[in-house]
Amino acid sequence: MTHDTSAEGCTPLARAEYRTAYPRKVIAVYRGGHHAGCLFVTFITVCALTHVARSFQWSYASTNIINGICAVISIATAVMMLWLIPELFKLAKALEAERCEKLLLESFQATLNNAVEAPEDKMDDASLNLMKAIPYCSNRQLRAMSAAKADLARMFRSKSVDISIAQDLKPRPNKVILPINNLFVMVADADIHAQQGQMLDRMSLSIAKTFMEAESRV
């Protein structure tokens, strides 16, 4: 079982998150900010009218009507701000998380590319072990896979995410299997996958793409 490494090869979860849910959230916050701004401007305008009414001694009824309108608009503005401010913080947090994820993925891809472009005589122990298990892979491909294993261990500071040979894989409790290609799979703890599933999907796609490109350079 292989991953589609094309642009449309993202998982349904990734497509839903980035093309549907996330943009809708941005639009909702933008519209909320627009409405809050309009309410605030209206509130300031009506508030100014109350001062004008007092200064020019408008009728009692007119002054009370303006005061009532001002009170309604101020309440509506406060309610809108109570919704908008937490949503703005959530959006800022989501944007920061997206930026960090993008940097991690770029760093991960750079590590893979550097491993592929390394000198042919540079083979670490992990690559040699993979060569013994899958002798028909090129040195470039093996270096890419061993670099991916090492970088995943560094990122997650444990063996909670690892790369295994597909044919040697046995069922493991509390583990999620992410296929990379017909030779390798990514194995992640269920709790890690629940938190970082989207990024792990993108990493597995990146590994599959690099593996195929390394094969074409042989």
The neighbour count for residue 33, using CB atoms within 10 Å, is: 15
Whether residue 77 is predicted with pLDDT greater than 80 in this model: the reply is: yes
Q: Are residues 46 and 120 in the same domain?
A: no
At a CB cut-off of 8 Å and minimum separation 6, what does 56 contact? none
Residues 72, 125: Cα–Cα separation, whole Å: 72
Question: What letter would DSSP give residue 12?
Answer: H
Name the 3-class secondary structure at 171. coil
Residues 103, 107: Cα–Cα separation, whole Å: 6
Q: Are residues 125 and 210 in the same domain?
A: yes
Q: Are residues 167 and 78 in the same domain?
A: no
Q: Residue 102 falls within a domain, yes or no?
A: no
Q: Supply the pTM of this predicted model.
A: 0.58
Give the per-residue pLDDT at 69. 92
Assign 121 a pLDDT band (cuts: 50, 70, 90): low
Whether residue 117 is predicted with pLDDT greater than 60 in this model: the reply is: yes
Tell me the mean pLDDT in the region 177-204.
Answer: 87
The helix-helix angle for 139-156 and 60-116 (nearest 10°) equals: 140
Whether residue 175 is predicted with pLDDT greater than 50 in this model: the reply is: yes
Q: Are residues 166 and 67 in the same domain?
A: no
Per the structure, the complete domain to which residue 183 belongs is given by 108-216
Q: Are residues 91 and 112 in the same domain?
A: no
Whether residue 151 is predicted with pLDDT greater than 80 in this model: the reply is: yes
Each residue's pLDDT tens digit, 43-75: 899 999 988 988 888 888 888 898 899 999 999
Give the per-residue pLDDT at 138. 76
Q: Using the 3D structure, point to which of 57, 73, 97 is the last residue of a domain.
A: 97
Give the per-residue pLDDT at 172. 75
Q: How many structural domains comprise the chain?
A: 2
* Nearest Cα residue to 120 out of 100, 104, 143: 143
Name the 3-class secondary structure at 176. strand
Residue 138's φ and ψ, nearest 5 degrees, are: -75, 165
Dihedral of CA atoms 131, 134, 138, 144 in degrees, nearest 10, equals: -70
Whether residue 40 is predicted with pLDDT greater than 50 in this model: the reply is: yes
Q: Using the 3D structure, point to which of 97, 124, 154 is the last residue of a domain.
A: 97
Q: Are residues 146 and 64 in the same domain?
A: no
Residue 212's φ and ψ, nearest 5 degrees, are: -70, -40
Q: Are residues 85 and 114 in the same domain?
A: no
Whether residue 159 is predicted with pLDDT greater than 60 in this model: the reply is: yes
Q: Residue 49 falls within a domain, yes or no?
A: yes
Q: Using the 3D structure, point to which of 97, 121, 143 is the last residue of a domain.
A: 97
Give the per-residue pLDDT at 19. 45
The neighbour count for residue 117, using CB atoms within 10 Å, is: 12
Q: Are residues 163 and 90 in the same domain?
A: no
Whether residue 168 is predicted with pLDDT greater than 60 in this model: the reply is: yes
Of 143-157, 182-196, 197-211, the least confident: 143-157
Q: Are residues 114 and 82 in the same domain?
A: no
The neighbour count for residue 175, using CB atoms within 10 Å, is: 16
Whether residue 167 is predicted with pLDDT greater than 60 in this model: the reply is: yes
Q: Are residues 11 and 92 in the same domain?
A: yes
